[in-house]
Chains A and B, each alone.
Chain A
């Protein structure tokens, strides 16, 4: 058991390394193909910098060396922890990412937990009442949500809750014109509610439909039939049979959704002007800040991979069937 776990973890770690190297190569090639000129992106639209100085900057950065040599230089400095300087924030990339990631994490974390809990409960309700009105309503709701673009839902929420009703602020993570140290927790929270809600509403559909299927499957099994025959109430059937069987797949699925969560965060942060990692992606993409963009790509891969790995480990640790299989 111990040995197989170690082997499993080692394999996963090795795979992560191959994926990261591939990602570095692919993003480097993509950025190489892009028509963005790093020197222009760096100096901006300023005309004060002449062609000669531009050539000097290019020379200093080694832009006229062959691509393979440049890739190796970039790659070794990434390995050494020097991810370059962000051109739009004028600070080291790692520092920018660290700061932005923290505020994104608050947003994504809340949305992730909310969508998991609500989706799970709705899914169980729909699965038990399969074919009844409650099931049809919940399923219809989920099918609509699956086809809804995140950003549009954000726009809708702004229109209804921020503009018409005026319950929440329209954008940003803090009130405008207030110093960072004066921002109260309540302010921060009220700015977080709408984006987190938007992000969680979309996650609900996935987990809910999945849980519904699983619950309906469990309800059709012989042991539930026997439990009913024994006279167990629906309540005790749910707590004794359904939740035990359904929760593990649901939790794993929730960990596998890190990729969609990150993608959704890009749109939500853009719509609400929330200063997180997703907002930084769009800004760096639009303004040609290649070091930051490549840095975020690497971080996002690690983020998604952590989610997938957690799901795998959960399965192996919790599910006795898979655990026994590994042993044998």
Chain B
């Protein structure tokens, strides 16, 4: 028998393994394994092609894995970048206080008051589309909630005895941030980064689907799905179904990893 905590750890490791496997497998797939096979176009799922084949006979499973790994890389980049922004702003706001704090709160409200999709579209247009636009767009819209969490946390640390004592000893903001604040917020940061990821990957796929993200020749999951729209009414359901399900599976997997880490770190919930 394994305990509750071990079960949580096991689930984290299994999902992380899957995550890494898709990431690596997708990166290893070269362009030539996506060969065109015109004698076998629109093959329904089953037989040699589990996910079926597309309009030029390419295997949908291979395309999906490759698309997923590309989307996952973008998602990783975006979530790490947004949590870095959240860390800097979330720590700076309470420590510097006053006008800086008001400004950062206002900035959060500003980003939250434009629908994310619209903001990403605007930024993506400004960058002329492509990878750069989508990374900046997703990063610029996803740091807000984590910043709020960290800001609230740091507000408490700021009022703690040891922080006040440290300040009386003449230590500066930088010292306090590094020695007293950062060690406390690392768990929040890790969980936050993991939990931003599903949102980032979904937004990336969505905006690419609309045609503002990655260009149509990239093997991204959003591109595959927007392609499938063309064959929707002719009953080629597998073109949209499997890539979509895989995307949902990945984002749920990461969500579960994040939630489980959260449970493990908090002793109140680790054994529940």
Contacts and interface: CB of A to CB of B under 8 A. Distances in A.
The answer on A and B forming one complex is: yes
Interface of A: 15, 18-19, 22-23, 27, 29-31, 33-36, 143-144, 146-152, 155-156, 158-159, 163-164, 170, 259-260, 262-263, 266-267, 270-271, 281-282, 285-286, 293, 296-297, 300-301, 304-305, 308
Interface in B79-124: 106, 109-110, 112-118, 121-123
A241 B113 CA distance: 34
A286 B211 contact: yes
Given A152-B225, A155-B244, A281-B118, A301 B210 contact: no
B18 to A, nearest CB: 15
Given A259-B116, A308-B113, A159 B237 contact: yes
B235 interface: yes
Contacts of A148: 248
Nearest to A160: B237
Contacts of A23: 110, 114
A170 B232 CA distance: 10
Contacts of A267: 117, 206, 209-210
A16 to B, nearest CB: 9
Contact of B235 (A33, A163, A270, A296): A163
Given A263-B116, A267-B117, A297-B122, A144 B248 contact: yes
Contacts of A301: 113-114
A143 B255 CA distance: 9
A208 B114 CA distance: 24
Interface in B226-272: 228-229, 232-233, 235, 237, 240-241, 244, 247-248, 251-252, 255
B224 to A, nearest CB: 11
B2 to A, nearest CB: 21
A75 B225 CA distance: 39
Nearest to B232: A158
Interface stretch (B33-41, B125-133, B150-158, B183-191): B125-133
Contact of A155 (B106, B127, B202, B240): B240
Contacts of B114: 23, 259, 297, 300-301, 304
A305 B115 CA distance: 11
A106 B197 CA distance: 33
A18 B244 CA distance: 40
Interface of B: 106, 109-110, 112-118, 121-123, 125-128, 198, 202, 205-206, 209-212, 225, 228-229, 232-233, 235, 237, 240-241, 244, 247-248, 251-252, 255
Contacts of B128: 34-35
Given A163-B235, A267-B210, A156 B244 contact: yes
B118 A263 contact: yes
A218 B209 CA distance: 42
A285 B121 contact: yes
Nearest to A270: B210
Pairs A-B, 4 closest by C-beta atoms: A30-B126, A263-B117, A152-B244, A262-B115
Q: Provide the main secondary structure of the chain B interface.
A: helix
B113 A305 contact: yes
B118 A266 contact: yes
Contacts of B110: 19, 22-23
Contacts of A300: 114-115, 118
A147 B248 contact: yes
Contact of A149 (B212, B232, B244): B244
B119 to A, nearest CB: 8
B118 A156 contact: no
A147 B122 contact: no
B210 to A, nearest CB: 5
Interface centre among B114, B206, B225, B233 (most CB of A within 10 A): B114
A158 to B, nearest CB: 6
A282 B210 contact: yes
A30 B123 contact: yes
